[in-house]
């Protein structure tokens, strides 16, 4: 019986895959969003900065920044879940992804529900893929700040899946 | 809306940090109506293969235009927050082109403002995205 893959090697492979996917999208960096991984679970963080403010008087996060944060979380979460098997089987061609071969799901529609004022501090989000078919996927995202049980926004959207050939 | 109210609304919109960061320009402001443009910027790319702007930036543009239309409505006060926003993406925006959103606040109650918006690139006959949203109405000062 073959021994299981060493944990450091597993983590290195998964983290490399995640970073090359995320680094392909300039807007993720623009908004200051990063992803933390525990096993296959991703948590997105949007680190607070002044440029995210929509209402300077309150102050509060811009609804558009919140929407974008949720949409980024949904797209990366969906892409990650569909690529997971390839990553685990060491079939993901990291070099090809870096050279622009990664085709991301395209948003068809996206509905954001604003539950509370976005405070001027870090925000977190996780996506749940409710349905992932060959052509379409449905994804739900939840976002919170200080307290996981007090969501400040949630969203759901439909996505067109990249077509795989061969 | 009086000229003073319109000037206040214009200043309010021009001072939004996130909208400024995205390069948004207020093009037109009328009763319950706003037109805001966002120039193409490679930092906003969402699709590395096609260089198309990220949907999130289009959402931010729609949200700003929607909020601006509410603030410019004669029955809504200065200041609003989004309750919900739904965006439908009809086609990818052409890379290199400015995206312009036109928002209309078509109904206002004492508590809620209803908005619809359309975003186009230079091909104005084929919208890039449409949006519908509900926004809060600022309480009238006692």
Query: What pLDDT shows up at residue B141?
Result: 52
Which residue range is the domain that position A113 belongs to?
7-160
Coil, helix or strand at residue A96:
helix
* Closest Cα in chain B to A104: B47
Could you say which residues of chain B have pLDDT below 50? 142
Distance separating alpha carbons of residues B39 and B41, to the nearest angstrom: 6
* Closest Cα in chain B to A71: B56
Query: What pLDDT shows up at residue B118?
Result: 98
The yes-or-no verdict on residue A114 having pLDDT over 70 is: yes
- In the block, tokens 């954001």 appear at A112
- Closest CB to B43 among A26, A65, A75: A26
Rounded to the nearest angstrom, the minimum Cα separation between B79 and chain A is 8
Q: Is residue A133 part of a domain?
A: yes
Q: Is residue B28 part of a domain?
A: yes
Query: What pLDDT shows up at residue B53?
Result: 96
Residue B38 is part of a domain; what is its CATH number? 3.10.129.10
Rounded to the nearest angstrom, the minimum Cα separation between A8 and chain B is 30
Cβ contacts of B42 on chain A, cutoff 8 Å: 26
Interface of A with B in 30-69 (CB under 8 A): 30-31, 50-57, 60-65, 67-69
Residue A121 is part of a domain; what is its CATH number? 3.10.129.10
Query: What pLDDT shows up at residue B90?
Result: 96
A131 phi/psi in degrees, rounded to 5: -155, 130
Cβ contacts of B113 on chain A, cutoff 8 Å: none
Q: What is the distance of C-alpha B133 from the center of its chain?
A: 11
| Cβ of residue A160 closer than 8 Å to a chain B Cβ | no
Rounded to the nearest angstrom, the minimum Cα separation between B87 and chain A is 5
Q: Is residue A1 part of a domain?
A: no
Q: Is residue B129 part of a domain?
A: yes
User: The complex's ipTM?
Assistant: 0.94
Coil, helix or strand at residue B76:
coil
- The pTM is what? 0.95
Q: Which two tokens stand for residue B107?
A: 């109904």
In this prediction, what percent of chain A has a pLDDT beyond 70?
98
Domain count, chain B: 1
B65 phi/psi in degrees, rounded to 5: -65, -40
> Are B43 and A31 an interchain contact pair (Cβ–Cβ within 8 Å)?
no
The yes-or-no verdict on residue A166 having pLDDT over 50 is: no
* Closest Cα in chain A to B64: A64
- Residue A70: how many CB atoms within 10 A of its CB? 31
* Closest Cα in chain A to B16: A54
A15-21: long-range contacts (C-beta < 8 A, 24 or more apart)? A16/A94, A17/A83, A17/A87, A17/A92, A17/A94, A18/A42, A18/A80, A20/A94, A20/A97, A20/A98, A20/A102, A21/A76, A21/A79, A21/A80, A21/A83, A21/A97, A21/A102
Q: Is residue A2 part of a domain?
A: no
Domain count, chain A: 1
Query: What pLDDT shows up at residue B9?
Result: 81
Q: Is residue B47 part of a domain?
A: yes
Q: Is residue B142 part of a domain?
A: no
Which residue range is the domain that position B101 belongs to?
3-136
Per-residue pLDDT band for A81 (boundaries 50, 70, 90) equals very high
Q: Is residue B141 part of a domain?
A: no
């Amino acid at each position: 019986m073959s021994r299981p893959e060493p944990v450091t090697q597993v983590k290195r492979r998964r983290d490399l895959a995640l970073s090359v996917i995320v680094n392909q999208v300039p807007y993720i960096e623009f908004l200051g969003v990063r992803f933390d991984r525990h096993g296959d679970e991703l948590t997105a963080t949007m680190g607070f900065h002044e440029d995210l403010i929509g209402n300077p008087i309150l102050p509060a996060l811009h609804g558009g920044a919140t929407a974008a944060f949720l949409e980024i979380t949904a797209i990366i979460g969906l892409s990650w879940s569909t690529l997971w098997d390839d990553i685990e089987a060491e079939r993901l061609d990291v070099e090809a992804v870096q050279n622009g071969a990664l085709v991301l799901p395209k948003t068809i529609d996206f509905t954001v529900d604003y539950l509370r004022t976005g405070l001027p501090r870090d925000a977190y989000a996780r996506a749940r893929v409710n349905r992932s078919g060959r052509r379409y996927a449905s994804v739900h995202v939840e976002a919170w700040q200080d307290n996981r049980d007090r969501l400040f926004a949630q969203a759901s959207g439909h996505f067109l899946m990249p077509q795989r050939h061969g | 809306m009086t000229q003073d109210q319109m000037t206040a609304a214009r200043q309010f919109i021009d001072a939004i940090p996130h909208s400024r960061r995205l390069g948004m320009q207020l093009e037109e402001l009328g009763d319950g109506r706003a037109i805001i443009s966002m120039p193409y910027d490679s930092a906003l790319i969402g699709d590395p293969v096609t260089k198309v702007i990220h949907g999130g930036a289009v959402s931010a543009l729609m949200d700003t235009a929607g909020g601006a239309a509410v603030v410019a409505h004669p029955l809504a006060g200065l200041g609003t927050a989004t309750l919900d926003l739904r965006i439908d993406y009809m086609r990818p925006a052409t890379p290199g082109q400015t995206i312009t959103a036109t928002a209309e606040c078509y109904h206002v109650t004492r508590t809620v403002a209803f908005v619809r918006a359309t975003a186009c690139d230079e091909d104005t006959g084929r919208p890039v995205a449409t949006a519908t949203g509900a926004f809060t109405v600022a309480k009238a000062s006692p």
